Amino acid sequence: MKKGIVPKLILYALKKKGDNHAYGILRAIKELTMNMYTPSTGVLYPALRQLERLKMIESYIKNGRKMYRITKRGENALSTYEDLEEFIKDISTERLPVEEMDAAIKKVFRVWSKLDKDKRAEIVKVINEAISKLNSILGGA
């Protein structure tokens, strides 16, 4: 994910989906990026604090939950990111199997100690081949 994109995605989510709590913002970003990206809470909360400090969003309490809304300043800042909608379209049109890759890697870590030497070698070979092919396709990108 491009550096600095999370604050933009937060602003975009609040503009498109309206006021929301932190978990709702995570879900909105995931939905807006067609399941391509969900920031971790370790990335989301600092970005929320940064946006509040910059007066691009403001928070308030509703039914015991901290809610966030975009401010006029945030809307003005968002309008300077014309490429954001294009960026979201780009990452959403050809869906990468991110969740599937994540689940497969987690499974490898979970069962690694139970695998015999041959299975481990086969997994390492597959991963190295995938890395090599990706690097070949991407070149210097």
Percent of the chain with pLDDT over 70: 83
Q: Which residue has the tokens 């070979």?
A: 125
The mean pLDDT of 21-41, rounded to a whole number, is: 89
Tell me the pLDDT tens digit for each residue of 66-116: 999 999 999 888 876 656 666 566 555 555 676 778 788 889 999 999 999
CA–CA gap between residue 94 and residue 121 (Å, rounded)? 31
Q: What is the pLDDT of residue 77?
A: 84
Provide the pLDDT confidence category of residue 57 given band limits of 50, 70 and 90.
very high
Query: How many CB atoms lie under 10 A from the CB of residue 16?
Result: 13
CA angle 21, 24, 26 (to 5 degrees): 115
d(CA 7, CA 15): 12
The amino acid at residue 131 is I
If pLDDT is split at 50, 70 and 90, which confidence band does 48 have?
very high
pLDDT band for 19, please (50, 70, 90 cuts): very high
pLDDT band at 13 (very low <50, low <70, confident <90, very high): very high
d(CA 6, CA 46): 10
User: Which residues, in sequence order, are CB contacts of 51 under 8 Å at separation 6+?
Assistant: 7, 10, 11, 57, 74
Question: Pick the residue with more confidence: 25 or 106?
Answer: 25
Count CB-CB contacts under 10 A for residue 103.
11
Return the percentage of the chain with pLDDT > 90, whole number.
55
Distance of CA 130 to the CA centre of its chain: 22
